[in-house]
């Protein structure tokens, strides 16, 4: 991690993130020139459920993330960063507005965040950029799936109402051998990368970056994977043979000091127990 002053502010962070993402996040592209010396273009990328499982953060010894590692090497790597909520909707609403769940009252995925009295008129990051002379477009999963926010964008892929492209689904689900497992499923789909939703989002973002722009731009690029279910082309499963996966150390008393609401969210009788009972831990990856 490169040494940077601890007092870096939000504007400074966005500028650094923009430069790093623009220079490496989508390789071999020629980016539109800045229309103002003080207004860099911004590519904002969100990756769902990634955790610290990338090479430069060393969160898991098996992962192969060369592009993210190259991006981190050319920018600023925050190794002590935390989300404000352990669930998608409140975390994303908080990130995009700067308002904590404890202030907004949005604690769970089913809470429509714009119906919170605190967030009803909150200014999101892209809205802030638009108010300062930027265009703002997005694609993929930036906000939680059921609650897109058209006021945040001038255009969206695939649409302002449906923010996430559909993924190919295998027949006869679930396919991992665990009955009644709902989304906690995995297996290969016989399709090329181009048919996957995330690939469609990446292609759309590339097309936006290649356009000629008459003003500085903010582009939101949201990737759904590695969120479950893990239905991806077979080549990605081949990268991680089941007999070579490093399995986690599981502390049998791990939830003893967790309050009841936390144990309820962890669901010790749910997915993890099913995986153990059906001898599938090595295949979960």
Please list the active-site residues.
Answer: 88, 144
Residue 15: phi and psi, rounded to 5, are -65, -45
Angular region, 165: left φ>0, alpha ψ -120 to 50, beta rest = beta
CA dist 81 and 95 (Å) reads 12
User: Which residues, 6+ apart, have CB-to-CB distance to 38 below 8 Å?
Assistant: none
CA 196, distance to chain mean position in Å, is: 15
CA dist 109 and 147 (Å) reads 10
Record the tokens describing residue 107, joined without a space: 């604690």
What does the buried/exposed string (b/e) look like for 83-120 if buried means 16 or more CB atoms within 10 Å of the residue's CB? eebebbbbbbbbbbbebebeebebeebebebbebeebe
Helix (H, G, I), strand (E, B) or coil at 187: strand
CA dist 95 and 72 (Å) reads 20
Residue 217: phi and psi, rounded to 5, are -125, 150
């Amino acid at each position: 991690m490169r040494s940077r002053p601890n007092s870096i502010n939000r504007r400074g962070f966005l500028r650094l993130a923009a430069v790093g993402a623009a220079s490496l996040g989508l390789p071999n592209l020629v980016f539109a020139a800045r229309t103002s010396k003080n207004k860099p273009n911004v590519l904002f990328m969100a990756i769902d459920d990634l955790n610290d499982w990338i090479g430069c953060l060393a969160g898991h010894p098996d992962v192969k993330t060369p592009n993210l590692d190259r991006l981190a090497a050319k920018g600023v790597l925050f190794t002590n960063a935390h989300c404000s909520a352990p669930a998608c909707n409140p975390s994303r609403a908080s990130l995009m507005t700067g308002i904590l769940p404890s202030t907004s009252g949005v604690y769970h995925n089913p809470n429509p965040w714009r119906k919170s009295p605190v967030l009803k008129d909150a200014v999101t990051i892209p809205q802030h950029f638009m108010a300062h002379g930027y265009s703002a477009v997005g694609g993929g999963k930036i906000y939680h799936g059921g609650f897109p926010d058209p006021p945040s964008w001038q255009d969206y892929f695939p649409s302002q109402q449906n923010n996430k492209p559909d993924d190919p689904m295998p027949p006869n689900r679930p396919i991992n051998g665990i009955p009644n497992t709902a989304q906690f499923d995995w297996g290969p789909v016989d399709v090329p990368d181009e048919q996957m939703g995330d690939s469609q989002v990446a292609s759309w973002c590339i097309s936006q970056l290649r356009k000629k722009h008459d003003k500085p731009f903010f582009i939101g690029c949201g990737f759904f994977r590695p969120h479950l279910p893990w239905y991806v082309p077979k080549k990605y499963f081949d990268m991680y043979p089941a007999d070579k996966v490093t399995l986690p150390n599981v502390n049998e008393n791990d939830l003893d000091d967790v309050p009841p609401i936390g144990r309820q969210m962890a669901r010790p009788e749910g997915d993890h127990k099913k995986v153990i009972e059906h001898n599938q831990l090595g295949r979960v990856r």
